[in-house]
Amino acid sequence: MRVNAREKNIYFEFITIGTSIKASALDPETSHEVSIIAPLYVSKEYIKTILIKKLFKKI
């Protein structure tokens, strides 16, 4: 099953913890959630890309 990220609502959360950032993504349709911890200097757009890939691997 191939899913297009642009066709889905995905909620993102970013929390700064010292020199790191905890990022989470939630798919409200399936209630699946994934999260990662990344260095603070990594862009949020790149983190979102990683989270979307990780989320769709889980589905």
At residue 39, φ and ψ (nearest 5 deg) are: -65, 150
Asked whether 56 and 3 are in contact (CB, 8 A), the reply is yes
Best CA proximity match to 59, nearest among 36, 25, 15: 25
CA distance 20 to 28: 26
| pTM (two decimals) | 0.82
Asked whether 21 and 14 are in contact (CB, 8 A), the reply is yes
Q: What is the pLDDT of residues 10-38, one digit of tens each?
A: 999 999 999 999 999 999 998 999 999 99
pLDDT classification of 6: cutoffs 50, 70, 90: low
